[in-house]
Chain A
């Protein structure tokens, strides 16, 4: 069965410091993995996705994530946080055979000036 865990419900970083948002998944197959960001009063936006190509995936706004099968992880990172990065982040896992997606519980990122 599919499942996804986001280990931190809230992360707070100072502007200009690195961001790490953790995601672990459970899947019976080779999953597709996504990170979405949700800003208040805006629709969710795709940051990046992994669909069995390169394990290091680069996304928009300087974010990237690395697929580690041995650790069943897909952590999201950014070298330097910006105030505009403050938002809710969702890790999403999907198994192609089932064509379903499961959203993680979300991580709220705060950026301190």
Chain B
């Protein structure tokens, strides 16, 4: 149980276009999901917390108008990279918490990631 999927697994787009990445909790409801960015050979950086039915909370330095997050249901969060540029190329990973638990003490269930390449 506790499976999280992401779609697409990889995407290539032209500079200036927008790309949407979906994160789904397949067998549980998640009021809270998280979006991370991982550069090659580096660690995960938390970008934002996605809350079902309310606005996302962005980490310092993350442009909210650039990275639009929508958590429209208890099983789906989307990340839209708007007007993508080559520097946005990265590996984007989502995670979900079971129910409404605390990030600091409970297990995150991660999606397999989406590799974005902007030409």
**A and B part of one assembly:** yes
Are B105 and A90 neighbours in the complex by a CB distance under 8 Å?
no
Are A103 and B111 neighbours in the complex by a CB distance under 8 Å?
no
Are A99 and B102 neighbours in the complex by a CB distance under 8 Å?
yes
Q: List B contacts of A106 (CB < 8 A).
A: 42-43
Contacts A103-B43, A106-B42, A106-B43; is A44 near B110 (CB within 8 Å)? yes
Contacts A44-B93, A94-B105; is A101 near B110 (CB within 8 Å)? no
The distance in angstroms between the C-alpha atoms of A65 and B99, with both chains bound, is: 27
Q: List B contacts of A36 (CB < 8 A).
A: 110
Are B110 and A43 neighbours in the complex by a CB distance under 8 Å?
yes
A interface residue count range (under 10 / 10 to 19 / 20 to 34 / 35 or more) = 20 to 34
Most buried by B among A41, A44, A90, A98: A44
Q: List A contacts of B109 (CB < 8 A).
A: 43
Q: List B contacts of A95 (CB < 8 A).
A: 104
Q: B76-119 interface mask toward A, CB cutoff 8 Å, 1 = contact, 0 = none? A: 00000000000000000101000000111101111111000000
Q: Which residue of B lies closest to A43 (CB)?
A: B110
Are B103 and A100 neighbours in the complex by a CB distance under 8 Å?
yes
The distance in angstroms between the C-alpha atoms of A24 and B7, with both chains bound, is: 35
The distance in angstroms between the C-alpha atoms of A98 and B49, with both chains bound, is: 13
Are B104 and A94 neighbours in the complex by a CB distance under 8 Å?
yes
Q: Which residue of A lies closest to B34 (CB)?
A: A101
The distance in angstroms between the C-alpha atoms of A42 and B7, with both chains bound, is: 13
Is B12 located at the chain interface by the 8 A CB criterion? no
Q: B1-34 interface mask toward A, CB cutoff 8 Å, 1 = contact, 0 = none? A: 0001000010000000000000000000000000
Are B104 and A101 neighbours in the complex by a CB distance under 8 Å?
yes
Chain A, range 28-51, C-beta contacts under 8 Å to B: 32, 34, 36, 41-46, 49, 51
19 A-B interface contacts by CB (under 8 A): A34-B107, A42-B112, A43-B4, A43-B93, A43-B109, A43-B110, A44-B95, A44-B110, A45-B110, A49-B107, A51-B105, A95-B104, A98-B104, A99-B102, A100-B103, A101-B103, A103-B43, A103-B45, A105-B43
> What is A's interface to B at a CB cutoff of 8 Å?
32, 34, 36, 41-46, 49, 51, 90, 94-96, 98-101, 103-106
